[in-house]
């Protein structure tokens, strides 16, 4: 967790050699979260499992969070 509003879940497991994807299981705290790069809305307070490319860093931002950008 990065504060209360950002969840970053780096991929540390080996990828599938055929698809070049890695499966990641993440527990999201209660609330609604947005997958930062895809914009997908995800309900929290549960485990989610998703495939990610190794170039991606799974990052979830809580809805209504204020994230300053330069």
Q: What is the mean pLDDT of residues 34-60?
A: 93
pLDDT at 24 over 80: yes
- Is there a domain that residue 69 lies in? no
Pairing of strands 21-28, 46-53: antiparallel
Residue % of the chain over a pLDDT of 90: 59
Is 35 part of any domain?
yes
Q: Residue with structure tokens 């300053």?
A: 68
Q: What three-state secondary structure class fits 66?
A: coil
- 39 neighbors 60 (Cβ within 8 angstroms): no
In a domain, 55, yes or no: yes
Task: Please give the Cα distance from 69 to 25 (Å, whole number).
Answer: 28
> Range of 17's domain?
6-62
Write down the pLDDT at residue 26. Answer: 94
* Average pLDDT rounded to a whole number, residues 21-34: 94
Report the CATH number at residue 37.
2.60.40.1180
Q: What is the pLDDT at residue 33? A: 97
Residue 15, pLDDT above cutoff 80: no
């Amino acid at each position: 967790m990065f504060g209360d509003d950002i969840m970053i879940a780096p991929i540390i497991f080996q990828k599938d050699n055929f698809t070049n994807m890695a499966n990641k299981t993440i527990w999201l705290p209660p609330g609604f979260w947005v997958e930062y790069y895809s914009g997908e809305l995800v309900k929290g307070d549960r485990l989610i499992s998703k495939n990610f490319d190794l170039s991606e860093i799974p990052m979830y931002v809580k809805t209504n969070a204020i994230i300053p950008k330069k």
